[in-house]
């Protein structure tokens, strides 16, 4: 087993690119959008996110992320 492939970054170090992923190929859920917007997972916020995703599609979450 390669030690590098299982190594985790030190808490104060920068996360290496090989450990990062964007989820670009995954379906965005209402819960993803709620969390990305910094809101709590409440029924009202999930419904807001569902409407937003229906209106804007994937752009809805991309607007929340830097």
Confidence tier at 51 by pLDDT (50, 70, 90): very high
For residue 22, tell me if it sits in a domain: no
For residue 15, tell me if it sits in a domain: no
Confidence tier at 4 by pLDDT (50, 70, 90): low
For residue 60, tell me if it sits in a domain: yes
Q: Phi-psi category of 20—alpha, beta or left, where left has phi over 0 and alpha has psi -120 to 50?
A: beta
* pLDDT exceeds cutoff 60 at 2: no
Q: Are 37 and 64 in contact (CB under 8 A)?
A: yes
For residue 43, tell me if it sits in a domain: yes
Would you state the structure tokens that stand for residue 22, as one six-digit string?
């964007």
Domain range for 35: 28-66
**Better-predicted residue by pLDDT, 9 or 65:** 65
Taking residues 10-32, report their average pLDDT.
Answer: 72
* 21/33 Cα distance (integer angstroms): 17
Q: What's the predicted TM-score (pTM) here? A: 0.61
For residue 32, tell me if it sits in a domain: yes
For residue 12, tell me if it sits in a domain: no
For residue 19, tell me if it sits in a domain: no
Nearest Cα to Cα of residue 49 among 60, 38, 59: 60
For residue 5, tell me if it sits in a domain: no
Terminal CA-CA length for the chain: 35
């Amino acid at each position: 087993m390669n030690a590098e492939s299982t190594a985790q970054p030190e808490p104060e170090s920068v996360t290496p690119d090989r450990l990062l992923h964007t989820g670009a190929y995954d379906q965005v859920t209402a819960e993803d959008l709620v969390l990305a917007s910094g809101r709590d997972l409440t029924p009202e916020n999930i419904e807001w996110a569902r409407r937003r995703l229906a209106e804007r599609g994937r752009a809805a979450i991309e607007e929340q992320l830097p």
